[in-house]
């Protein structure tokens, strides 16, 4: 493990354990991708899938990010789940409960329709397991218009915080509400497309999002 992914400052909140990393990655679906062009950092949000220590990304073949990443530049992929706001009696001890993974590595372009289809399936299943088998599969020209990347996590670290506030002893007497406001991504009621064929059943997997 090198300096860039060593867990610093608050080691009790960090981990480089693979099972911890994978559990956080599998609990979310949105990644923020960092890359550098001419010294300028870019951070772009995108969906992802995971299989082992590989993350899969996709996008338009015309996208600036895809073209940069496929060239093999250094990439940072960050996934963050906010679990709650931690309200202390003092401004200073306010905090956030969260789980995050910061992963470093490089990406390669997946070539060949079969391999691309398999990687797209991983992304789809990561988001909504069961959906892929129901929908119309990509046509060759759709695959051609899509770049699919495999990002290898060469180094990664997880950070997390949980539990309530930790106030200075003398502040516990203050008449200030303290505790945790839990926060989570929640799905609402599905909104059917206006051209949905009457009688089409609502898929069960929608009720499992977010997992």
Q: What is the DSSP letter of 140?
A: H
Q: Which is nearer to a copy of itself, 50 or 89 (CB)?
A: 89
Q: Which is nearer to a copy of itself, 26 or 142 (CB)?
A: 142
d(CA 162, CA 96): 8
| Positions 60 through 119 that interact with a copy of itself (CB under 8 A) | 60, 62-64, 74-78, 80, 82, 84-85, 87-92, 94, 96, 98, 100, 102, 104
Cβ neighbours of residue 118 closer than 8 Å, sequence gap 6 or more:
none
What is the closest distance, in whole angstroms, from the C-beta atom of residue 166 to a copy of itself in the complex?
10
What is the closest distance, in whole angstroms, from the C-beta atom of residue 53 to a copy of itself in the complex?
18
**102: β partners:** 78, 157
Examine residue 194 and tell whether it contacts a copy of itself (CB under 8 A): yes
Q: Scanning the structure block, which residue is given the tokens 């789809």?
A: 124
Number of residues engaging a copy of itself in binding (CB under 8 A): 93
| Positions 7 through 26 that interact with a copy of itself (CB under 8 A) | 8-9
What is the 3-state secondary structure of 21-63?
Answer: HHHHHHCCCEEEEEEEECCEEEEEEEECEEECCEEEEEEECCC
| Positions 132 through 171 that interact with a copy of itself (CB under 8 A) | 132, 134-139, 142, 146, 164-165, 171
Stretch that binds a copy of itself, among 16-24, 49-57, 106-114, 190-198 (CB under 8 A): 190-198
Cβ neighbours of residue 28 closer than 8 Å, sequence gap 6 or more:
79, 80, 81, 210
């Amino acid at each position: 493990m090198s300096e860039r992914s060593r867990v610093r400052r608050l080691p009790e909140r960090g981990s480089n354990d693979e099972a911890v990393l994978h559990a956080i990655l599998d609990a979310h679906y949105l990644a923020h991708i960092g890359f550098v062009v001419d010294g300028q950092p870019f951070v772009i949000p995108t969906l992802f899938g995971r299989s082992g220590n590989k993350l899969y990304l996709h996008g338009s073949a015309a996208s600036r990010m895809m073209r940069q990443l496929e060239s093999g530049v250094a990439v940072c992929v960050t996934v963050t789940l906010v679990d709650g706001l931690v309200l202390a009696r003092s401004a200073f001890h306010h905090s956030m409960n969260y789980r995050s993974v910061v992963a470093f590595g490089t990406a390669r372009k997946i070539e060949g329709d079969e391999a691309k289809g398999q990687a797209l399936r991983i992304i789809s299943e990561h988001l909504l397991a069961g959906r892929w088998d129901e929908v119309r599969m990509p046509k060759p020209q759709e695959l051609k218009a899509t770049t699919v990347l495999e990002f290898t996590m060469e180094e990664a670290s997880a950070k997390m915080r949980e539990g309530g506030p930790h106030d200075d002893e003398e502040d516990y007497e203050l008449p200030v509400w303290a505790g945790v406001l839990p926060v989570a991504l929640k799905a609402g009621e599905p909104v059917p497309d206006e051209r949905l064929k009457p009688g089409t059943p609502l898929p069960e997997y929608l009720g499992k999002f977010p997992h």
